[in-house]
Amino acid sequence: MVSKGKAKEKKQQRKEMLARMGAAQQLLSKANVPDKDHMDTLIPFKKYNRNNVDLSIECVHYEQVKDDGDTFETIYQILEGNMKAEYDACYWGWNEKDKRDELKEKNPWFLVAKNSEGQTVAFSHFKFDFDEEIAVLYCYEVGNLNGFRFDFANLAKYE
């Protein structure tokens, strides 16, 4: 038999957990508004111009790129170009439909890097999600066009 003290303690713990989960859910709701620009407060990171590499970087929700016919398709092509051979070398192989679906499921976000001609040259696929009792950001993919390289370590440095 559970004592009244233990039952009360468990009830309090459950109440605290639900409060943490509610707070995390509120954060996720704010983060996953499709037209939100998460780069608004990161202005210095919207441009990268160093060592003959000139990029603009934007943060977009899938809803913003699904119909433009270019950005999402280029993201997929970069992913396939970077990863298809790796998947094909494994027993489960590459499945185009599954990969496209993964890029679209449950509030997907992308950091998209474009060169001075407006061509998408790199991307990061991430999601604001919920893990146990906390809001988290999961990075699922990072890809760049074959042959396109720049120093990721210096990307975070700005003058």
pLDDT of residue 49: 85
- Residue 75 in contact with residue 103, Cβ under 8 Å? yes
Q: H-helix or E-strand containing 130?
A: strand 120-131
pLDDT of residue 151: 56
What's the token pair of residue 69? 């016919």
pLDDT of residue 78: 94
What's the token pair of residue 63? 């809803």
What's the token pair of residue 138? 């999961």
pLDDT of residue 154: 52
pLDDT per 10-residue tile (average), the chain, 159 residues: 76 80 79 79 84 87 82 93 92 92 90 91 90 84 77 46
pLDDT of residue 152: 52
The pTM of this model reads 0.77
Distance (Å) of CA 126 to CA 64, 109, 110, 139, 147: 15, 5, 6, 4, 23
Which string of DSSP letters, residue by residue, matches 86-113? HHHTSTT---HHHHHHHHHSSS-EEEEE
